[in-house]
Structure 1
Amino acid sequence: MPVSQTLATELVYTPINPSFGGNPLNGNFLLQKAQSQNAHSLQRPALSFVDKFREALERNIINSLTRRIADGELVEGVYDTGEYRIEVIQDTDGSVLVTITNQNTGDTTIIRIPVLPR
């Protein structure tokens, strides 16, 4: 019976995906491959000019309120953007309460901004 010599080495696993310890240079390649295989697309309804204008106006009102509150220029009152009702009041301890109500769903979010010592 003939005898032959056999050589073997360890099996070593090297991950490819950088999320699991692979080479970071593989990230873009893997992302492009995944995106090219993705058959789903986000269906966005076409908005009319009026809808776009209303959304832009809402964003401007919210940005203006946010900036003024952050700068300490409290302007108490109720602001109605159509979809949201925003109420800004100063609490007895000096903190600012911002109540945001979605008028379509009735969901309410209350944000308390504490007074920071100067």
Structure 2
Amino acid sequence: MRFHRLFIILSLLLVKVTASAQDFVYQPQNPAFGGSYLNYSWMLSSAQAQNGFEDEEASRERFERDPLQDFEQSLNRQILGQITRQLFNDQFGEGGLQEGQYELGNYQIDVVPSSEGIQITILDTGTGGETTVSVPYF
């Protein structure tokens, strides 16, 4: 028995014990505090799932919508869309928007091809306001 204890103690002393460790680096999860931007949608959905409060106005609006008013708005959008398509075809033809300068009421529209695509500049001659739209090539 004594021999066994002595043998165990000597074996433990002779066995080379190595310890390894690594550096711990703190990485925040929240993108607002330096975390990965890929965590944003997960954190937002998690917070919304835990939110016990409900917006009372939003829930009331959902159930207080008038189907006839929705139908009227949908019909107006369709009629205006059809009128817009007709005006566009009358002004620009079936070929669509071509390079050049167009005048529609108070608006002056310049269509110019560029290296990235087509650049459309809309100038309101009444107010002087200008909008530029770039349509890239695909």
Calculate the TM-score normalised by the size of structure 2: 0.38
Greater helix percent: which structure? 2
Larger radius of gyration: 2
Calculate the TM-score normalised by the size of structure 1: 0.43
Comparing both chains, which one has the higher relative contact order based on Cα–Cα distances under 8 Å and sequence gaps of 6 or more?
1
